[in-house]
Structure 1
Amino acid sequence: MDMANRQFPAVARAGGYPIYRNHCFLRVVYDHLFQKKWQAALDNKKPAIHQLDETQLRRAIHLGNQLMADRQCCEIMNRKSLEWRGKQ
Protein backbone atom coordinates (compact mmCIF):
# COMPACT_ATOMS: atom_id res chain seq x y z
CA MET A 1 0.00 0.00 0.00
CA ASP A 2 3.06 2.23 0.17
CA MET A 3 2.76 2.65 -3.59
CA ALA A 4 -0.80 3.99 -3.31
CA ASN A 5 -0.40 6.00 -0.13
CA ARG A 6 3.05 7.53 -0.53
CA GLN A 7 4.86 6.82 -3.80
CA PHE A 8 2.13 7.55 -6.35
CA PRO A 9 0.84 10.78 -4.74
CA ALA A 10 4.39 12.19 -4.62
CA VAL A 11 5.15 11.27 -8.24
CA ALA A 12 1.75 12.45 -9.46
CA ARG A 13 1.91 15.85 -7.75
CA ALA A 14 5.47 16.46 -8.94
CA GLY A 15 4.61 15.40 -12.49
CA GLY A 16 1.28 17.19 -12.85
CA TYR A 17 -0.67 13.95 -13.27
CA PRO A 18 -4.47 14.18 -13.74
CA ILE A 19 -5.01 12.24 -10.49
CA TYR A 20 -2.93 12.17 -7.33
CA ARG A 21 -5.09 10.83 -4.50
CA ASN A 22 -4.62 7.26 -3.37
CA HIS A 23 -8.27 6.28 -3.86
CA CYS A 24 -8.17 7.53 -7.47
CA PHE A 25 -4.97 5.58 -8.10
CA LEU A 26 -6.53 2.43 -6.68
CA ARG A 27 -9.73 2.97 -8.71
CA VAL A 28 -7.74 3.13 -11.93
CA VAL A 29 -5.57 0.12 -11.05
CA TYR A 30 -8.48 -2.08 -9.96
CA ASP A 31 -10.73 -1.04 -12.85
CA HIS A 32 -7.98 -1.96 -15.30
CA LEU A 33 -7.31 -5.19 -13.49
CA PHE A 34 -10.92 -6.27 -14.12
CA GLN A 35 -11.53 -4.24 -17.33
CA LYS A 36 -14.66 -2.75 -15.73
CA LYS A 37 -15.75 -0.98 -12.56
CA TRP A 38 -13.98 -3.11 -9.95
CA GLN A 39 -17.03 -3.14 -7.66
CA ALA A 40 -18.80 -5.21 -10.34
CA ALA A 41 -16.15 -7.93 -9.93
CA LEU A 42 -15.57 -7.87 -6.17
CA ASP A 43 -17.53 -7.30 -2.97
CA ASN A 44 -17.46 -3.52 -2.61
CA LYS A 45 -18.05 -3.80 1.14
CA LYS A 46 -14.58 -5.29 1.59
CA PRO A 47 -11.23 -3.76 0.65
CA ALA A 48 -10.35 -4.89 -2.86
CA ILE A 49 -6.77 -5.69 -1.92
CA HIS A 50 -7.95 -8.36 0.54
CA GLN A 51 -9.95 -10.08 -2.20
CA LEU A 52 -7.20 -10.41 -4.81
CA ASP A 53 -5.37 -13.65 -5.45
CA GLU A 54 -1.61 -13.67 -5.97
CA THR A 55 -1.83 -13.36 -9.76
CA GLN A 56 -4.23 -10.41 -9.52
CA LEU A 57 -2.05 -8.73 -6.92
CA ARG A 58 1.03 -9.05 -9.11
CA ARG A 59 -0.90 -7.62 -12.06
CA ALA A 60 -2.19 -4.75 -9.89
CA ILE A 61 1.38 -3.91 -8.86
CA HIS A 62 2.44 -3.94 -12.52
CA LEU A 63 -0.44 -1.61 -13.44
CA GLY A 64 0.46 0.69 -10.56
CA ASN A 65 4.04 0.88 -11.76
CA GLN A 66 2.81 1.76 -15.26
CA LEU A 67 0.71 4.60 -13.84
CA MET A 68 3.64 5.98 -11.86
CA ALA A 69 6.12 5.72 -14.72
CA ASP A 70 4.18 7.59 -17.39
CA ARG A 71 1.91 10.62 -17.05
CA GLN A 72 0.31 10.02 -20.46
CA CYS A 73 -0.40 6.40 -19.55
CA CYS A 74 -2.04 7.63 -16.34
CA GLU A 75 -4.23 10.04 -18.33
CA ILE A 76 -5.33 7.30 -20.74
CA MET A 77 -5.98 4.76 -18.00
CA ASN A 78 -7.89 7.30 -15.90
CA ARG A 79 -10.12 8.21 -18.86
CA LYS A 80 -10.86 4.54 -19.54
CA SER A 81 -11.68 3.94 -15.88
CA LEU A 82 -14.10 6.87 -15.94
CA GLU A 83 -15.68 5.49 -19.14
CA TRP A 84 -16.30 2.14 -17.44
CA ARG A 85 -18.04 4.12 -14.70
CA GLY A 86 -20.16 6.16 -17.11
CA LYS A 87 -18.42 9.41 -16.14
CA GLN A 88 -16.65 10.20 -19.42
Structure 2
Amino acid sequence: MDERSARAELTYKGITVGGTFHFNDADEMVRFDTNDRWQDGEPPRKIPWSAHLEDYRVAGGIRYATRVSATWHEPAGDLTYVTGTIESLEFNVKD
Protein backbone atom coordinates (compact mmCIF):
# COMPACT_ATOMS: atom_id res chain seq x y z
CA MET A 1 0.00 0.00 0.00
CA ASP A 2 2.85 2.31 0.96
CA GLU A 3 6.29 2.01 2.59
CA ARG A 4 4.81 1.45 6.09
CA SER A 5 1.74 -0.71 5.36
CA ALA A 6 0.86 -3.83 3.39
CA ARG A 7 -2.43 -5.56 2.63
CA ALA A 8 -2.54 -9.35 2.64
CA GLU A 9 -5.25 -11.86 1.78
CA LEU A 10 -5.49 -15.58 2.49
CA THR A 11 -7.86 -18.02 0.78
CA TYR A 12 -8.67 -21.45 2.20
CA LYS A 13 -11.45 -23.74 0.98
CA GLY A 14 -13.12 -20.90 -0.90
CA ILE A 15 -13.06 -18.43 2.01
CA THR A 16 -10.94 -15.30 1.62
CA VAL A 17 -9.94 -13.04 4.51
CA GLY A 18 -7.60 -10.10 4.55
CA GLY A 19 -6.21 -7.23 6.50
CA THR A 20 -3.67 -4.45 6.61
CA PHE A 21 -0.34 -4.67 8.44
CA HIS A 22 1.18 -1.40 9.67
CA PHE A 23 4.89 -0.99 10.48
CA ASN A 24 6.96 1.64 12.30
CA ASP A 25 10.34 3.08 11.22
CA ALA A 26 12.13 0.08 12.80
CA ASP A 27 10.08 -2.27 10.54
CA GLU A 28 8.18 -3.63 13.56
CA MET A 29 4.51 -4.47 13.07
CA VAL A 30 2.55 -2.07 15.28
CA ARG A 31 -1.02 -2.68 14.12
CA PHE A 32 -3.13 -5.12 12.14
CA ASP A 33 -6.60 -4.08 10.90
CA THR A 34 -9.29 -6.28 9.36
CA ASN A 35 -12.96 -6.14 8.50
CA ASP A 36 -13.16 -9.94 8.26
CA ARG A 37 -13.66 -10.83 11.94
CA TRP A 38 -17.03 -12.01 13.25
CA GLN A 39 -18.12 -10.86 16.70
CA ASP A 40 -20.23 -13.37 18.67
CA GLY A 41 -23.79 -12.35 19.39
CA GLU A 42 -27.32 -12.77 18.15
CA PRO A 43 -26.88 -12.44 15.31
CA PRO A 44 -23.10 -12.69 14.82
CA ARG A 45 -21.82 -9.71 12.85
CA LYS A 46 -18.71 -8.55 11.07
CA ILE A 47 -17.15 -5.59 12.86
CA PRO A 48 -13.82 -3.87 12.12
CA TRP A 49 -11.10 -5.27 14.41
CA SER A 50 -7.49 -4.37 15.16
CA ALA A 51 -4.51 -5.71 17.08
CA HIS A 52 -1.89 -3.34 18.48
CA LEU A 53 1.69 -4.40 19.25
CA GLU A 54 4.43 -2.46 21.05
CA ASP A 55 7.56 -2.63 23.20
CA TYR A 56 9.63 -4.93 21.02
CA ARG A 57 12.47 -6.99 22.46
CA VAL A 58 14.86 -9.60 21.09
CA ALA A 59 15.21 -13.13 22.50
CA GLY A 60 16.98 -16.00 20.80
CA GLY A 61 17.56 -13.79 17.79
CA ILE A 62 13.80 -13.19 17.36
CA ARG A 63 12.28 -9.73 17.69
CA TYR A 64 8.82 -9.84 19.28
CA ALA A 65 6.26 -7.46 20.73
CA THR A 66 5.89 -7.68 24.51
CA ARG A 67 2.61 -5.75 24.77
CA VAL A 68 -0.46 -6.53 22.68
CA SER A 69 -4.12 -5.57 22.66
CA ALA A 70 -7.19 -6.40 20.57
CA THR A 71 -10.01 -3.95 19.85
CA TRP A 72 -13.45 -4.15 18.22
CA HIS A 73 -14.32 -0.89 16.45
CA GLU A 74 -18.07 -0.88 17.13
CA PRO A 75 -20.48 1.82 15.89
CA ALA A 76 -20.97 3.00 19.52
CA GLY A 77 -17.21 3.26 20.09
CA ASP A 78 -14.07 1.17 20.44
CA LEU A 79 -14.01 -1.83 22.79
CA THR A 80 -10.55 -3.09 23.75
CA TYR A 81 -11.41 -6.51 25.13
CA VAL A 82 -7.96 -7.95 25.75
CA THR A 83 -4.55 -6.61 26.65
CA GLY A 84 -1.52 -8.69 27.42
CA THR A 85 2.16 -8.66 28.23
CA ILE A 86 4.70 -11.26 27.19
CA GLU A 87 7.23 -11.49 29.99
CA SER A 88 9.43 -14.29 28.64
CA LEU A 89 9.86 -16.72 25.75
CA GLU A 90 11.16 -20.27 25.70
CA PHE A 91 12.45 -21.97 22.57
CA ASN A 92 12.60 -25.66 21.62
CA VAL A 93 10.71 -26.75 24.73
CA LYS A 94 10.12 -30.50 24.95
CA ASP A 95 7.06 -31.90 26.69
Provide TM-score, normalisation by structure 2: 0.23
Structure with the higher helix share, 1 or 2? 1
Q: Considering only CA atoms, is the larger Rg found in Structure 1 or Structure 2?
A: 2
Bigger RCO of structures 1 and 2 (CA < 8 A, at least 6 apart): 1
Provide TM-score, normalisation by structure 1: 0.24
Structure with the higher strand share, 1 or 2? 2
